[in-house]
Amino acid sequence: MCGIVGAIAERNVVEILLEGLKRLEYRGYDSAGVALLDGEGNLTRTRRTGKVKELADALHTHPSKGNIGIAHTRWATHGGVTEANAHPHFSSDRIAVVHNGIIENYQRLRSELAAKGYGFDSDTDTESIAHQVHYELDQGADLLQAVHNAVKKFEGAYGTVIIDKNDPERMIVARSGSPLVIGFGIGENFIASDQMALLPVTRRFMYLEEGDVAEVTRTNVTVYDQDGQIVQRDIVESDIEHDAGDKAGYRHYMLKEIHEQPTVVRNCLQGRLGEHGISPNIFGQDADSILDNIKHVQIVACGTSYHSGMTAKYWLEQYANVSCNVEIASEFRYRKSFVHPNSLLVTISQSGETADTLAALRLAKSLGYSSSLTICNVPGSSLVRESDLAFMTLAGAEIGVASTKAFTTQLTGFLMLTLALGKHNGMSETDHKAIVDGLHSLPSKLEETLSLTQGIKDLAEEFADKHHSLFLGRGDQYPIAMEGALKLKEISYIHAEAYASGELKHGPLALIDDEMPVIVVAPNNELLEKLKSNVEEVRARGGIMYVFADKEAHFQSDNTMRVINVPHCSAAIAPIIYTLPLQLLSYYVAIIKGTDVDQPRNLAKSVTVE
């Protein structure tokens, strides 16, 4: 989704801005632009549709310079993908603005501003920010006050940076609903929507909070809260690796991230899982006493993170004796829901900035939940800062739009949450030991599972000309089938549906023919015989199946079925293990189809608008 980079320095900031935009490419975008203000008071702008490279080429062909600059990657919401709609937006060649989020009342603002004589060059909501600030300046406010006044008129979400040609010593930034981080340099300062953009220039960051407006000069940062009072926000040192954005020799980030899973799962367990169980308070300070009273868990998330929540429901109810509901965040936030006594609200998110999940957490605070926990991958993100408890998944930067290692570390975290809640709710010794042993074996089992790569590459050839597919699973493998289907559709653009296989005869069987590959996840568990019956239902109707199965499940390859044996593993960790072959399958199908694996069409990594 949209990305912002800004810089104010003695030096020319063009390369800092371009590098920042490149590092934000993973978020997904369709156009990019830069505005630069130089020491002579010249404000210039360059915008291009397509990749940041087109913008960089344009800036190198017609060199521009500036000591202050703002840059943006746009993921279209209001108005098509055109240069005119790309940011930065100007007002009267004086004010330049970049913006993430959506100004929901922009049509009313546009009418009001048009009535005041402002003309619009784009179809965006953002242009009204530029004109509104300009209007406030015309009323006699200085730039800082103009932004304070303007934001009072905005409804919706914004992370915005504004520069004024007539006020060349500062940038003004404002945040409401869309994250912004200020980066501190020596004699220069920076702003971005994501610290990844700024890692080459600083490691010291300050996260703005909701309603904050900040004045950023070369040497100083002053933050005002929503009441206009000066406030201090913490400065934190980032420990994200500078080269987290490298592909480390892999063809795509997604493949690198798939292969990192044994290591990151090991990191996620380290220091948290001892020989006989989890360490105290791994979910945050005082977590154990908070979890002691929890009798119900409400999970809220989107996309892949929702699938990890779906899996967790099976675990929490089966092993920890705690009731659990799971809901898609965009549904949860817009309906009246029942809050069980002693409920824990759990949000799950790779980015920690997903707009619907964040809104769900904020709503939950007013609903009477006992406490909130986030399972999240990005330190300092909004969900981490606003939740009572946080469990960091420690997967490292995930760049590929298709979530892989974030998912398996979320599941690892959920197994530990199952242990933590189970302790207070009568979990059996046998289940406790099975989960602990399963977790200890998890990194090496994941390594073993990666060795299936060659067989899956061969299998992927058979998918390349298909337009539809069906994924089947039962029990805690049903959400894994859902995740497999999501992966295939998002990066290979093949239509994929997942069903709990017991549902087949209630409708989807009508779809079965030899053009509809059916992918089955079949560990050797207590539902195996039921699953085998479902497989026979497909076979009887001429379906072609690809079965990922435990060897001991005794499936045989024949002319209607290809069996890929997955390393034997304990039941508790099977959903995590069976995720890997499905990730690899999607990846190699996408390679054959030649799609943009890391940045699939129409998608964004961090969905910061609802």
Residue 577 near residue 449 (C-beta atoms within 8 A): yes
- Of 402, 406, 360, nearest to 383 by C-alpha is 360
Interface with ligand AGP (CB under 6 A), residue total: 15
Stretch of 52-60, 118-126, 300-308, 472-480 contacting ligand AGP, by CB under 6 A:
300-308
Q: Which of residues 418-457 bind ligand AGP (CB under 6 A)?
A: none
Per the annotation, the verdict on 336 as an active-site residue is no
3-state secondary structure of 317: helix
Closest-approach residue to ligand AGP (CB): 303
Helix 127-138 and helix 143-151, axial crossing angle in degrees, nearest 10: 120
Burial class (CB in 10 A: 0-12, 13-18, 19+), 30: buried
Q: How far is the CB of 380 from ligand AGP (least distance, A)?
A: 14
Query: For residues 67 and 469, which CB has a smaller minimum distance to ligand AGP in the complex?
Result: 469
Tell me which of 49, 160, 343, 354 binds ligand AGP, using CB under 6 A.
354
Least Å distance, CB 257 to ligand AGP, is 11
Distance of closest approach, residue 589 Cβ to ligand AGP, in angstroms: 15
In the complex, what is the shortest distance from the CB of residue 538 to ligand AGP, in angstroms, rounded to a whole number? Answer: 27
Using CA atoms, how far residue 273 sits from 67, 294, 440, 564, in Å, is 50, 21, 8, 31
Kindly tell me which of 309 and 523 has the beta carbon lying closer to ligand AGP.
Answer: 309
The reply to whether 349 sits near ligand AGP by the rule CB under 6 A is yes
Handedness of CA 174, 180, 181, 187 (dihedral sign): negative
Residue range at the interface with ligand AGP (CB under 6 A); choices 37-45, 296-304, 310-318, 444-452: 296-304
In the list 66, 183, 303, 517, the residue contacting ligand AGP (rule: CB under 6 A) is 303
Contact 133, 95 (CB under 8 A): yes
- Work out whether 351 is an interface residue with ligand AGP (CB under 6 A): yes
Minimum distance, C-beta of residue 488 to ligand AGP, in the bound complex (Å): 11
Give Cα separations from 381 to 15, 179, 316, 398 (angstroms): 26, 8, 26, 14
How many other CB atoms sit within 10 Å of the CB of residue 189?
27
Stretch that binds ligand AGP, among 169-177, 365-373, 396-404, 571-579 (CB under 6 A): 396-404
Task: Find the part of the chain contacting ligand AGP (CB under 6 A) among 46-54, 117-125, 158-166, 399-407.
Answer: 399-407
Distance CA 348, CA 324 (A): 14
How many angstroms separate the Cα of 562 from the Cα of each of 1, 539, 581? 39, 12, 14
Phi, psi angles (nearest 5°) of residue 62:
-120, 80
Stretch that binds ligand AGP, among 123-131, 351-359, 412-420, 447-455 (CB under 6 A): 351-359
Q: Which stretch binds ligand AGP (CB under 6 A): 13-21, 157-165, 395-403, 590-598?
A: 395-403
CA angle 316, 578, 455 (to 5 degrees): 180
Give residues with Cβ within 8 angstroms of 274, minimum separation 6: none
CB of 606 vs ligand AGP, minimal distance in Å: 6
Map residue 432 onto helix, strand or coil: helix
- β-partners of residue 47 are 33
Q: Which is nearer to ligand AGP, 94 or 593 (CB)?
A: 593
Buried b (16+ CB within 10 A) or exposed e, 249-283: eeebbbbbbbbbbbebbbbbbeebbeeebbeebbb
Residues 6+ apart with CB under 8 A from 349: 301, 302, 305, 357, 374, 375, 376, 377, 381, 383
Among the listed residues 405, 445, 487, 605, the single catalytic one is: 605
Q: How far is the CB of 137 from ligand AGP (least distance, A)?
A: 37
List the interface residues with ligand AGP, window 532-551 (CB under 6 A): none
Question: Which residue from 542, 500, 491 is spatially nearest to 520, judged by alpha carbons?
Answer: 500
**Contacts with ligand AGP in 177-196 (CB under 6 A)?**
none
Restricted to residues 563-602, the positions that interact with ligand AGP (CB under 6 A) are none
- The CA distance from 288 to 23, in Å, is 38
For residue 304, state whether it binds ligand AGP (rule: CB under 6 A).
yes
523 HSE (CA, 13 A, CB side):
23
Binding residue (CB under 6 A) for ligand AGP from 401, 494, 520, 549: 401
Judge whether 376 counts as a catalytic residue: no
Does residue 390 touch ligand AGP according to CB under 6 A? Answer: no
Is 409 a binding residue for ligand AGP by CB under 6 A? The answer is: no
Does position 394 interact with ligand AGP (CB under 6 A)? The reply is no
- What the block records as the tokens of 404 is 């892989």
Q: How far is CA 288 from CA 313, 320, 552, in A?
A: 20, 15, 39
Closer of 23 and 27 to ligand AGP (Cβ): 27
In the bound state with ligand AGP, the residue whose beta carbon lies nearer, of 31 and 351, is 351
Nearest distance in Å: CB 404, ligand AGP:
8
Asked if 357 is part of the footprint of ligand AGP (rule: CB under 6 A), the reply reads: yes
Q: Which CB, 351 or 492, lies closer to ligand AGP?
A: 351
Q: Please, which residues bridge with residue 164 across strands?
A: 95
Q: Does 382 bind ligand AGP (CB under 6 A)?
A: no
Restricted to residues 453-492, the positions that interact with ligand AGP (CB under 6 A) are 490
Q: Pick the catalytic residue from 2, 268, 324, 376.
A: 2
516 vs 607, beta carbon nearer ligand AGP: 607
Q: Which is nearer to ligand AGP, 396 or 543 (CB)?
A: 396
Question: What SS3 string covers 206-223?
Answer: EECCCCCEEEECCCCEEE
What type of residue is 464?
A
- Smaller CB distance to ligand AGP: residue 224 or 587? 587
| Residue 115 CA: distances (Å) to CA of 105, 131, 489 | 16, 12, 46
Q: Rank residues 303 and 575 by Cβ distance to ligand AGP and give the closer one.
A: 303
Which residues of the shown chain bind ligand AGP in the complex (CB under 6 A)? 302-305, 349-351, 354, 357, 401-403, 490, 606-607
Report the catalytic residues.
2, 605
